[in-house]
Amino acid sequence: MPPSFATRAVHAGRADFTDLGVHAPPLDLSSTYPTPDLAAAAASYDALAGGDAPRGNAVYSRLFNPTTDRAERAIAELEGAEDAAAFASGMAAIAAVLLDARQRGRHVVAVRPLYGGTDHLLASNTFDLDVSWVAAAEIATAVRADTSLVYIETPANPTLDLVDIADVVRQAGHVPVCVDSTFATPVLQRPLAHGAALVLHSATKFLGGHGDVLAGVVAGPHAHIARLKHLRAITGGVLHPLASYLLHRGLPTLELRVLRMQQTADILATRLAESPRVQRVFYPGMPGQDPRGLIGRQMAGPGSILSFTLVEDSADAMQRFISRLRLITPAVSLGSTDTLIQPPAALTHRAVDPAARAASHITPGLARLSVGLESADDLWQDLAQALDGVARAAPIHTGEMLASTA
């Protein structure tokens, strides 16, 4: 019987530790490596430049670093992938995927909502890509001869929309599908098992897990990942060895953190839905928010991110609410051990087209909550007092407020 996920998360990427005589992951900070045998170094350089493993000599850390390699192998194992490539940030990973797609065709199909940075990169035409923004059910009709990638995020940032990966893959046909699975992690979802070509993570979030590392990672077939490693080598978007060390360090506790956070998120989602200060809660575990039954079929659980809209759906109300929080930290990012909250319309999704924001329910009064490891009761007490404070401080003569409280 194969080891469980929890066991693999502890031991992945550590196969050479016994031979090395170490217990903790070694941290190799070398920027360059001696090359006394020039022929061997040249052969290794050629292999590394093509995205393959070194031939006995790492040559230069932009091409290969053993600490990073161990973290990549660990994440590939957890995702059920042949290989993985780590980058200096989630956006660097996304950029590499898009650059690789651009080399094979100019057209990309994408489904909103996406992380605001991803949306902005696709919409900005930085890579001369023709992007078709479609609903998940419309992918098949959008695919054309020069389509080189279908890009989705599920659960989606920030409203937790769930997308059926297997159905997207069916519609995409021969076109590779890349799934941003940052919110789910391999604890709850493994897109490659549902036919996706690539799975992408902002590893800054849950995989690192402690708010102290910037990283991105893409996992998939070796041939595809080799192309991404080649792009990483020539563009320089490498992950620093110290960041690789921190990323690898976070993996053994990944399942424990994700499942504990999920338990708390479920409690908070229920309480927020019952609050008269909250207009709407976005959380896949809530009734009616998983119409295709993907939890249990595609995902092992709804996760630990939720969003909610204030009754007074305005930037002023959001500012009053945020300023009253005492335990929860107002900050972008997610997946850390402490609970973070931020208004996507004002921050992470600020650069998204206003019409697209509105269509995805990303309004001024929407808050995205990344639940940490604190007590559910302590977190709720903080949320409840901030919500009550907003209501008490709100003007009561405006027609908008009268309508919202009716």
190: annotated active-site residue:
no
pLDDT band at 50 (very low <50, low <70, confident <90, very high): confident
164: which 2 tokens?
Answer: 């059926």
pLDDT band at 395 (very low <50, low <70, confident <90, very high): low
Whether pLDDT at 401 is above 70:
no
Contact 233, 215 (CB under 8 A): no
Placement of tokens 């479920």 in the chain: 266
Question: Lowest mean pLDDT: which of 11-15, 364-368, 390-394?
Answer: 390-394
Per annotation, catalytic residue among 119, 164, 180, 290:
180
Whether pLDDT at 56 is above 90:
no
For the residues 359-374, what does the mean pLDDT come to?
A: 98
205: annotated active-site residue:
yes
Per annotation, catalytic residue among 33, 45, 60, 115:
115
pLDDT band at 404 (very low <50, low <70, confident <90, very high): very low
76: which 2 tokens?
Answer: 């590939």
For the residues 318-346, what does the mean pLDDT come to?
A: 98
138: which 2 tokens?
Answer: 């419309």
Whether pLDDT at 394 is above 80:
no
For the residues 230-256, what does the mean pLDDT come to?
A: 97
Could you tell me which CATH number the domain at 255-405 has? 3.90.1150.10
If one counts every other C-beta atom within 10 angstroms of the C-beta of residue 194, the result is: 19
- Between CA 179 and CA 197 the distance in angstroms is 8
Nearby residues of 24 by Cβ (< 8 Å), 6 or more positions away: none
60: annotated active-site residue:
no
pLDDT in tens, 65-108: 999 999 999 999 999 999 999 999 999 999 999 999 999 999 99
Residue-range domain boundaries for the chain: 255-405
Closest among 160, 158, 155, 199 to 176, alpha carbons compared: 199
349: which 2 tokens?
Answer: 């999704």
What angle separates helix 222-235 from helix 90-104, to the nearest 10 degrees? 110
What pTM did the predictor assign?
A: 0.95
Contact 114, 156 (CB under 8 A): yes
pLDDT band at 52 (very low <50, low <70, confident <90, very high): confident
Whether pLDDT at 353 is above 70:
yes
Contact 64, 58 (CB under 8 A): yes
Per annotation, catalytic residue among 62, 249, 260, 350:
62
- Between CA 88 and CA 232 the distance in angstroms is 9
Share of the chain above pLDDT 70, in %: 97
Instruction: For the chain, give the mean pLDDT.
Output: 95
pLDDT, residue 392, reads 76
Per annotation, catalytic residue among 70, 73, 205, 257:
205
